[in-house]
């Protein structure tokens, strides 16, 4: 498993299938454990991720770590983290369809090798990539989806992106942060049952 992921990582590092390889500093392949029950798919690397070659290392990543820690989960022990695309889009714009398509083979290989029991789809871009047009994140978050064969029967849950939570500071009942707290507890409950 480690070797297979290493092979894909190396292939991805020298990929030239879309123009993003020309402007990136580092390919951002993954972080966390390679044999977990839980995988998180984010959107795309930002500035900090591009500089360090690791996903979710900026402010949003720190918040994500806190969210996991609130239910006793860490990326060192429990989670594999990656993104829909592996190179940073200029100015952090959303990935283009052709960039997502070019990068799909790497994400699919990560899913195929790891075969997690739960996949968290973090934000609209990840939801769209795996589930298609099921609706916006505020409608679909917190619900379990069966992803079928393409994800080897994993349970899928869309969740808010931590960047969105950073822009919405309220913790009141019904606020995005409050909803995320509900979702992560539900995720931990199902995680323990699998």
Give the residue with the Cβ less far from ligand URA, 49 or 65: 49
CA distance 27 to 33: 18
User: Are β-strands 79-83 and 38-42 bridged in parallel, bridged antiparallel, or unpaired?
Assistant: parallel
Give the residue with the Cβ less far from ligand URA, 97 or 153: 97
The answer to whether residues 155 and 189 touch, using CB atoms and an 8 Å cutoff, is: no
Other beta carbons within 10 angstroms of residue 168's beta carbon come to 12
Contact string (CB under 6 A) for ligand URA, positions 83-102, x = contact: x-------------------
CB 56 to ligand URA: min, Å = 4
CB 80 to ligand URA: min, Å = 13
Contact string (CB under 6 A) for ligand URA, positions 31-60, x = contact: -----------xxxxx--x-----xx---x
CB 43 to ligand URA: min, Å = 3
Please state at what angle helix 97-114 crosses helix 2-13, rounded to 10 degrees: 160
User: Are β-strands 31-32 and 79-83 bridged in parallel, bridged antiparallel, or unpaired?
Assistant: antiparallel
Contact string (CB under 6 A) for ligand URA, positions 57-86, x = contact: ---xx---------------------x---
Other beta carbons within 10 angstroms of residue 146's beta carbon come to 9
Dihedral over alpha carbons 22, 17, 131, 165 (to 10 degrees): -10
Give the residue with the Cβ less far from ligand URA, 5 or 41: 41
CA distance 112 to 104: 12
- Please work out the total of residues on this chain that contact ligand URA, with binding judged by CB under 6 A: 11
What are the residues binding ligand URA (CB under 6 A)?
42-46, 49, 55-56, 60-61, 83
């Amino acid at each position: 498993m480690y070797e297979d992921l290493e092979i894909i990582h190396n292939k991805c590092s020298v990929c030239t299938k879309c123009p993003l390889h020309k402007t990136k500093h580092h390919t951002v392949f993954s972080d966390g454990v390679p044999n977990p029950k839980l995988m998180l798919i984010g959107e795309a690397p930002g500035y900090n991720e591009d500089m360090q070659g690791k996903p979710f290392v900026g402010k949003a990543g720190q918040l994500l770590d806190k969210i996991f820690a609130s239910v006793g989960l860490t990326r060192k022990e429990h989670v594999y983290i990656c993104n829909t695309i592996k190179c940073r889009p200029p100015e952090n714009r959303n990935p283009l369809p052709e960039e997502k398509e070019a990068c799909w083979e790497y994400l699919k290989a990560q899913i195929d090798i790891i075969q997690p029991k739960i996949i968290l789809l973090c934000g609209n871009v990840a939801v769209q990539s795996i589930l298609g047009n099921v609706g916006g994140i505020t409608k679909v978050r917190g619900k379990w989806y069966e992803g079928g064969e393409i994800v080897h029967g994993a349970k899928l849950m869309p969740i808010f992106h931590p960047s969105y939570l950073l822009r919405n500071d309220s913790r009141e009942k019904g606020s995005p942060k409050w909803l995320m707290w509900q979702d992560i507890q539900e995720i931990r409950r199902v995680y323990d049952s699998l």
